[in-house]
Amino acid sequence: MTERTVLNHCPYCGDQNLWPHESDQGSGHGEWECRSCLRAFKVTMIGNLSRPPLGGDR
């Protein structure tokens, strides 16, 4: 996964009317706007998860 992955659906309304968001405050990297519900949001990767051990409770 790269930080430039294109989203398919808005996390708020589920619509596909997404566009890159260019704001005056940020770099615009990872920022998206949904033109259906009129929300702007930022998607960032926090990190990788470790796998649970085999036979674990989880």
Model confidence pLDDT, tens digit, residues 7-48: 899 999 999 999 999 877 766 678 999 999 999 999 888 888
Q: Which residues pair with 40 in a beta bridge?
A: 33
Confidence of residue 54 (pLDDT cuts 50, 70, 90): confident
Residue 55 or residue 2, greater confidence: 55
Residue 22 or residue 2, greater confidence: 22
Statement: residue 55 has pLDDT above 80? no
Q: Which two tokens stand for residue 1?
A: 């996964």
Domain ranges for the chain: 1-45
Statement: residue 5 has pLDDT above 90? no
Using CA atoms, how far apart are residues 43 and 4, in angstroms rounded to an integer? 10
